[in-house]
Amino acid sequence: MARLEADCSRCAALCCVAPAFAKSSDFAVDKPAGQACRNLADDFRCRIHEDLPARGFQGCVVFDCFGAGQRITQETFGGRDWRGAPEIAGAMFATLPVMRQLHELLWLLTEALQLDEARRLHPELRMARDEIDALAAGTADELRGLDVDAYRKKVVPLLRRVSELARAGAGRRRPDHSGAHLIGRRFRGADLRGASFRGALLIGADLRDADLRRADFTGADLRGADLRGADLTGALFLTAAQLRAARTA
Ligand code: SF4
C-alpha cells in the first residue's frame, strides 16, 4: 500500500506549481495553474515554510495531498521532475488532482478498516481499497483518463454505512449536521457525541469543550473552528490537515 501522508522530501512540490491560486485569505497572491509559486526554492522547498500563516499562505498549511505528490513523482514518473524534464510538466500537473482524489479515498477506506464496529464491512472495504490502489498505480495517461467520480460514488455509500455502524454506540441523539452551513455557530460545551458533520461548513464555529466523541468529520471545513477543550476521542475521518486548520491550543 502506498503511503497516505505527504512526504514533501520525495515530491517535486507539485502542489506549489500545478494549481492556480486566487488571492484571498488563504493565499496572499494570484498564481496561474502550472506556474511555480514565488516562494518555491530551487530545491523544491518552501522559503517561508515556518511562517506561512503570518505571510498570508494559510491555504498551504491546510492543504493535504494524502501522499499523492510523492507517488506521482516517484512512481508514476519514475523520480523525474518538471524542472529537469519540462516536457513532462503538463502531464505531471494534470495527474495531481486525479491522484489526490484517489489517495483521499484510500485514506478514508484505510481509516474505516481500523473501526471494529464496521468489521462486517471489512471485506468490502478491502476490495474497494485494493481496486483504487491498483488504479493509482496506472500510467499518467491511464490516470488522466479515469472517471474518479464514478469510483467516489461507489465508495461513499460504503463509508456512510461504516459511519452509521461506528456512531451507533455513541448515544441516541447523534445529531445529523451533514452538509450543514454552521459558520460561526456556537456549540460550546454541546453534547455532539456521534454527530455527523460530513461535508459541513464549520468555519469559525465555537466547539470549545464540546463532546465530539465518535463524531464524523468527513470533508468538514474546520478552518478557524475553535476546538480547544473538545473531546475528540474516536472522532471519525478527521484528518491532520483539518486539525491544522482549526484552533486546538
Ligand atoms: S507558499 Fe510555500 S508551500 Fe505555499 S505554494 Fe508557495 S512554495 Fe508552496
* Gap between the Cα atoms of 51 and 55, Å rounded: 6
Q: How many CB atoms lie within 10 A of CB 139?
A: 12
Which residue, among 159, 138, 161, has the nearest Cα to 2 in the 3D structure?
Answer: 138
Residues 113 and 233 in one domain: no
Residues 21 and 90 in one domain: yes
pLDDT at 37 (0 to 100): 97
Query: Which domain range does residue 56 map to?
Result: 8-167
Report residues of the chain scoring pLDDT below 70: 1
Residues 151 and 35 in one domain: yes
Beta bridge partners of 221: 201
Q: Residue 116 domain-assigned?
A: yes
Closest ligand 1 atom to 21 CA: 5
* Gap between the Cα atoms of 18 and 96, Å rounded: 8
Residue to mutate, 16, 27, 30, 65, ligand 1, most ligand atoms under 8 Å from C-beta? 16
pLDDT at 195 (0 to 100): 96
CA of residue 223 to ligand 1 center, whole Å: 18
Q: Residue 2 domain-assigned?
A: no
Ligand 1 contacts CB of residue 17 (under 6 A)? no
pLDDT at 173 (0 to 100): 75
Looking up residue 192, the CATH number of its domain turns out to be 2.160.20.80
Residue to mutate, 14, 35, 38, 39, ligand 1, most ligand atoms under 8 Å from C-beta? 39
pLDDT at 2 (0 to 100): 76
Q: Residue 3 domain-assigned?
A: no
Residues 49 and 89 in one domain: yes
Ligand 1 contacts CB of residue 21 (under 6 A)? no
Residues 53 and 137 in one domain: yes
Find where cell 488522466 sits: 144
Residues 149 and 183 in one domain: no
Q: Residue 177 domain-assigned?
A: yes
Residues 82 and 147 in one domain: yes
Total domains present in the chain: 2
Residues 99 and 120 in one domain: yes
Ligand 1 contacts CB of residue 37 (under 6 A)? yes
Over the stretch 222-235, which tens digit does the pLDDT of each residue have? 999 999 999 999 99
Closest ligand 1 atom to 39 CA: 7
Residues 40 and 137 in one domain: yes
pTM of the predicted structure, to 2 decimals: 0.94
* Gap between the Cα atoms of 129 and 151, Å rounded: 11
Residues 72 and 120 in one domain: yes
Ligand 1 contacts CB of residue 243 (under 6 A)? no
Ligand 1 contacts CB of residue 39 (under 6 A)? yes
Ligand 1 contacts CB of residue 46 (under 6 A)? yes
Closest ligand 1 atom to 60 CA: 4
Closest ligand 1 atom to 31 CA: 5
* Gap between the Cα atoms of 135 and 3, Å rounded: 15
- Tell me the DSSP string of the chain: ----S--GGGS--GGGTSS-B-SSSS-SS-B-TTS--TTB-TTS-BTTGGGTTTTT-HHHHH---TTHHHHIIIIITTT--TTT-GGGHHHHHHHHHHHHHHHHHHHHHHHHTT-GGGGGGHHHHHHHHHHHHHHHTS-HHHHHT--HHHHHHHHHHHHHHHHHHHHTTS-S---B-TT-B-TT-B-TT-B-TT-B-TT-B-TT-B-TT-B-TT-B-TT-B-TT-B-TT-B-TT-BS--HHHHHHSB--
Q: Residue 1 domain-assigned?
A: no
Residue that finishes a domain, picked among 167, 192, 226: 167
Closest CA to ligand 1's atom 2: 46
Ligand 1 contacts CB of residue 238 (under 6 A)? no
Residue that finishes a domain, picked among 110, 132, 167: 167
Residues 159 and 38 in one domain: yes
Which amino acid, 167? R
Residue that finishes a domain, picked among 118, 148, 167: 167
